[in-house]
Amino acid sequence: MSKYWSQVVRELEPYVPGEQPQIDGLIKLNTNESPYPPSPKVIDLITHDAIDRLRLYPDPSSKKLKDTIAHYYGVKAEQVFVGNGSDEVLALLFVAFFQQDKPLLFPDISYSFYPVYCKLFDIENKTIPLRDDFSINFGDYPSANGGIIFPNPNAPTAIGLPLADIEALLQKNTESVVVVDEAYIDFGGETAIKLVDKYPNLLVVQTLSKSRSLAGMRVGLAVGHTDLIDALNRVKDSFNSYPIDRIAEAATIVAFEDEAYFQACRDKIIATRNWTVSELEKLGFNVLPSEANFVFAEPIGKNAADIAQYLREHKILVRYFNKPRINQFLRITIGTDEQMQAMIQVLKTL
Ligand SMILES: Cc1ncc(COP(=O)(O)O)c(C=O)c1O
């Protein structure tokens, strides 16, 4: 705290990202990154020429990238927005749509950046409890709201929602913007992008950080009605005209074009997840049904914080949240087969 701080800064409760320690031989299963490198085509494009062009500003509208995403999802380029990671896309959309006189609604157990943005942008909000089985129940969401946001699959529970449930919500909730945060959709869910032409208040957010192995590049996107995209562009151009750098734009285009590599990595992660779930269950864990590249697992009869610490002592990092309702769970990112086998071996020594 300093006398130079503004009132806003004094009252902030910043988001705390998972650790990125520089420890040799560490098995890092704490931030839901991909264990696989990006497409080899991404690596090929970072040539001397590409580096030389860094002296020039990138295209502020990222047109080629939007064209690629639009083609991939069968929408118009004007229905696509891109930003510096989906965290930035989320921040901009909170300003664009959620500063209303009614509260923004989101699940009580959900992505912990949502309440941080509410505080930063002074957005009234109300959290709606998940059911006892940790699933989302839209029946509990009041119709008087200033917007609704939820991840699908949810984080950190990993539980996915059927598209029919999201469509039923959109049919009854027509007066505010509904945002589906699909950071983990590629690992088993069905994207709501299919619904954007039908519902003008639906915005779908995705990231290149998980299924496309580009967390370090920071690229996120949103797809929705052109009126929603216009609003996002207005906020973006009042904040940062060039959120996507030249190399990030080129790399993202290639990542979308290399479908075979994308599918191969995704399929490997799903297979490893299924193996990990069955091994954890054999060890007495209650594992919530996962449609993501991580699992949320409760060690029955043992203390989750102690297990996280024990794994850490064996150079394996998982995420533990000391929060009500979930303080007996561990969030474990799916790594390679070898990494997950190593984790299961350590757990067996407990
Ligand atoms: C639900 C959810 N949304 C958004 C993000 C942000 O992703 P990024 O900013 O890397 O695109 C994350 C990251 O872990 C997440 O879990």
The pair phi, psi for residue 81, each rounded to 5°, is: -125, 145
> Would you report the helix, strand and coil content of the chain in percent, each value rounded to 5?
40, 15, 45
How far does the centroid of ligand 1 lie from the alpha carbon of residue 90, in Å?
A: 9
> How many angstroms is it from 207 CA to the middle of ligand 1?
7
- Gap from CA of 148 to ligand 1 centroid (Å): 17
Instruction: For the chain, list residues with pLDDT below 70.
Output: none
CA of 33 to the centre of ligand 1 (A): 10
- Does residue 181 have its Cβ closer than 6 Å to ligand 1? yes
- Residue 76 C-alpha to ligand 1 middle, in angstroms? 24
pLDDT confidence of residue 3: 95
d(CA 177, CA 180) in angstroms, rounded, equals 10
Q: What is the pLDDT, as a whole number, of residue 256?
A: 97
Q: Ligand 1 pocket, 33 CB below 6 A?
A: no
pLDDT at 49: 78
pLDDT of residue 24: 84
Q: Which among 87, 181, 214 is the best mutation to test ligand 1's pocket, defined by most ligand atoms within 8 Å of the CB?
A: 87
Query: Tell me, what's the pLDDT at 138?
Result: 97
Which pLDDT does position 312 carry in this prediction? 95
pLDDT in the model for residue 233: 98
pTM comes to 0.97
Atom of ligand 1 nearest to the CA of 209: 10
Ligand 1 pocket check: which of 111, 217, 331 to mutate, most ligand atoms within 8 Å of Cβ?
111
The number of the ligand 1 atom at minimal distance from the alpha carbon of 111 is 1
Say yes or no: CB of residue 155 within 6 Å of ligand 1. yes
Q: Return d(Cα 155, Cα 109) in angstroms, integer.
A: 8
Q: What is the pLDDT of residue 18?
A: 87
Q: Which residues pair with 105 in a beta bridge?
A: 126, 148
Query: How much is the pLDDT for 46?
Result: 85
Q: Residue 336 and residue 262: Cα distance in Å, rounded? A: 15
Looking from the CA of residue 90, the nearest atom of ligand 1 is 4
Taking alpha carbons only, the member of 97, 103, 110 closest to residue 150 is 110
Classify the phi-psi angles of 337: left when phi > 0, otherwise alpha if psi is within -120 to 50, otherwise beta: alpha
Rounded to the nearest angstrom, the distance between the alpha carbon of 183 and the centre of ligand 1 is 6
90 close to 117: Cβ distance less than 8 angstroms: yes
Continuous segment of H or E residues that includes residue 114: helix 113-120
pLDDT at 124: 97
